[in-house]
Structure 1
Amino acid sequence: MGQFYIGGDKMDAKFSAMYEVGVKLRPQAEQAFREGNYSKAAELDGRIRERLSPAEVKKLAFAEARVRD
């Protein structure tokens, strides 16, 4: 079977960022939101705001509003 190679630092950095979002931050933010820990959810999702779906942006806005109240 063939090998897959990501060449260059730019691609490695992009892959690393995508991995962090998909595997680390989003699941942690989802869990925090479900548990009602809105400050943690807002902090985690706020770090990746530009990569969030429209529904995730709404959840982030809700969490941020709850933290301010």
Structure 2
Amino acid sequence: MNLPVPFPLPQPDACKGSGLTCPLKAGEVANYAATLPVLKSYPKVKVDVKWELKNENDQDLVCIMIPARIH
């Protein structure tokens, strides 16, 4: 139905436990890693995951759409 559904991460602070060294420096490559729980209770669906990383001022640093399927 194309409705956005928030999915809170276990650790919402990207500077903790993700491999980033904060503050990030302009022009340098940064690698971010996160693990998402996928519960058996989730329905089998195709979804577009919108992943955003925001700064302390709630401005997008990264915003990508990832096609995914839960099965």
> Shorter-normalised TM-score: what interval?
under 0.3
Normalised by the size of structure 2, how large is the TM-score? 0.25
By percentage of residues, which structure has more strand? 2
By percentage of residues, which structure has more helix? 1
Q: Which has the larger radius of gyration?
A: 1
